[in-house]
Amino acid sequence: PCLPGFDIAGAVHPAKSVSGDFFDYLPLGEDCIGVVVADVSGHGLGPALLMAQVQASLHALVEFRSDPGELLKHANRLFAANDSGHFVTMFLGRLDAERRAFVYAGAGHQGYHFLTSGDVKFLEATGLPLGVVDVATVPSSPSINLEAGDIILLPTDGIEETYSPDGRLFGRQLMFEVIRNNQEKSAAQIVDALFCAAREFSEGERQRDDITAVAVKVLDTP
């Protein structure tokens, strides 16, 4: 999407022909967009159909509200009504171009905020995954001020949970290392570097889970 002051890109690599992961961008008011990453439990056709339903629900809900927490609360109500036996972890963040700020809600899903200092702040989940209980509150975070050079990474667990042939786990620290080694590149190149690193780590073994990530880079000029 085109948002002044930001470079944003995402990609999904299914473990099978269809994916229970998804990412999306939502209109959340003037100079604001929502960035969504979600993971339906399981993978294959069933979770992919549920994913499509959740995605459609979000697009309907943004007509009436723009707060990430409110959106996830109502998305949970709609998803839980299906009684599908599945759940969805979802991260929904709102980028504000005018204020250079970020507010998010995480339904059992977290993200990462890479600062130019080299530190990483964890964007912790603020509530339960969608579908665990019928009525759930997923509070929005306080507003986070963003600086030029910051990177927000929103991955699903398929990256960290990639295994090598000898049983080693790709893990969080290696994921952080990939981001730091590619922080000067575009958002699209960062996302691609993550996937390539995970596939190289697995040495061509069959991909066990869907792999999805969105990267947001804060640019020098708004």
Q: What percent of the chain has pLDDT over 90?
A: 64
Structure tokens at 117: 């200092």
Mean pLDDT over all residues of the chain? 91
Query: Residues 10-23: pLDDT tens digits?
Result: 999 887 766 778 89
Separation between Cα atoms, residue 41 and residue 111, nearest integer Å: 18
Q: Which residues contact 43 (CB under 8 A, 6 or more apart)?
A: 14, 15, 16, 19, 20, 21, 209, 210
Separation between Cα atoms, residue 89 and residue 40, nearest integer Å: 7
Q: Is the pTM of this model over 0.95?
A: no
pLDDT, mean of residues 143-152:
96
Query: Residues 85-96: pLDDT tens digits?
Result: 788 999 999 999
pLDDT, mean of residues 181-201:
95
SS (H, E, C) 115-161: CCCCCEEEECCCECCECCCCCCCCCCCCCEECCCCCEEEEECHHHHC
